[in-house]
């Protein structure tokens, strides 16, 4: 499996282009509307056939490019069923399997940042969306977020993966591009080092973060798959 990590500087968003080397079947994870032409150029230059447009959740900080890329490629938009999306082609549940050639992508439902977060597991890699970030995690104060749900998703699901699993998050704000489960279990500032649910909740409840600048257009726009 090949992985290409792309970045949107305005929203600090990572987009991932992944593909099976033999069949050239590919998927894109967490596209950004403003970067559709960049992504499509990569697809064309590499001779890839996009099969899936994978969303880790309904984003609040940017509008997805999935709708535009579906028009260009015919790929299927994929998101968890809790999103309530009426425009996606595939609504996933826990342990669903998607395929690129002979490669399997397993869906792990990891709610807490929102109620519809999914992690995509493939070939020793976890694309964790906003659930688990590098030395950090997603906020829990809107979109049906929950400290308890996120704590369970990370400690009982993600932290039980093999420790050498590579973590590719949906965002990074500090210039870090990847991590591992082993590192996050020890060094994650919000939930690492065996923090209790109570300690985690205290941290999360006192973050006092401003709302994402685009939340009022991003959430409704993404419920339309970014097809504005």
Note whether residue 227 is domain-resident.
Answer: no
What is the pLDDT, as a whole number, of residue 87? 97
109-148 exposure pattern, b = at least 16 Cβ within 10 A, e = fewer: bbbbbbbbbbbbbbeebbbbbbbbbbbbbbbbeebebbbe
Note whether residue 25 is domain-resident.
Answer: yes
DSSP structural state of residue 159:
G
> How far from chain centre, in Å, is Cα 134?
13
Tens-digit pLDDT string for the chain (228 aa): 999 999 999 999 999 999 999 999 999 999 999 999 999 999 999 999 999 999 999 999 999 999 999 999 999 999 999 999 999 999 999 999 999 999 999 999 999 999 999 999 999 999 999 999 999 999 999 999 999 999 999 999 999 999 999 999 999 999 999 999 999 999 999 999 999 999 999 999 999 999 999 999 999 999 999 987
Note whether residue 118 is domain-resident.
Answer: yes
N- to C-terminal Cα distance for the chain? 33
Q: What is the CATH number of the domain that holds 46?
A: 3.60.15.10
Note whether residue 213 is domain-resident.
Answer: no
Domain that holds residue 39: 2-206
What is the pLDDT, as a whole number, of residue 108? 98
Residue 55: count other Cβ atoms within 10 Å of its Cβ. 30
The total number of structural domains that make up the chain: 1
Q: Quote the crossing angle between the two packed helices 66-73 and 36-46, to the nearest 10°.
A: 30
Note whether residue 225 is domain-resident.
Answer: no
Tokens of 218: 């991003």
What is the pLDDT, as a whole number, of residue 35? 98
What is the pLDDT, as a whole number, of residue 128? 98
The answer to whether the beta carbons of residues 158 and 119 sit under 8 Å apart is yes
Note whether residue 222 is domain-resident.
Answer: no
DSSP structural state of residue 87:
S
Burial class (CB in 10 A: 0-12, 13-18, 19+), 83: buried
Q: In angstroms, rounded to a whole number, what is the distance separating the alpha carbons of residues 210 and 188?
A: 22
Note whether residue 224 is domain-resident.
Answer: no
What is the pLDDT, as a whole number, of residue 227? 87
Note whether residue 14 is domain-resident.
Answer: yes
Diameter of the chain by CA atoms?
50
Q: What sections of the chain are H helices per DSSP?
A: 36-46, 66-73, 147-152, 181-187, 197-205, 215-222
The pTM of the full predicted model, rounded to 2 decimals, is: 0.97
């Amino acid at each position: 499996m090949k992985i290409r990590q792309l970045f949107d500087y305005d929203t600090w968003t990572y987009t991932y282009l992944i593909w099976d080397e033999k069949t050239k079947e590919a998927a894109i994870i967490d596209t950004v509307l403003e970067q559709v032409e960049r992504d499509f150029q990569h697809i064309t230059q590499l001779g890839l056939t996009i099969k899936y447009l994978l969303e880790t959740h309904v984003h609040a900080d940017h509008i997805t490019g999935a709708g535009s890329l579906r028009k260009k490629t015919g790929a299927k938009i994929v998101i968890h069923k809790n999103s309530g999306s009426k425009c996606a082609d595939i609504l996933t549940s826990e342990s669903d399997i998607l395929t690129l050639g002979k490669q399997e992508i397993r869906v792990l439902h990891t709610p807490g940042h929102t109620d519809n977060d999914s992690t995509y597991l493939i070939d020793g890699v976890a694309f964790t969306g906003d659930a688990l970030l590098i030395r950090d995690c997603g906020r829990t104060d809107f979109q049906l977020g929950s400290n308890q749900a996120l704590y369970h998703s990370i400690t009982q699901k993600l932290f039980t993966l093999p420790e050498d699993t590579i973590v590719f998050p949906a965002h990074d704000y500090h210039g870090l591009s990847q991590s591992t489960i082993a590192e996050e279990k020890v060094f994650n500032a919000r939930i690492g080092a065996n923090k209790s649910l109570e300690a985690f909740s205290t941290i999360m409840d006192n973050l006092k973060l401003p709302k994402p600048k685009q939340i009022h257009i991003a959430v409704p726009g993404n419920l339309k798959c970014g097809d504005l």
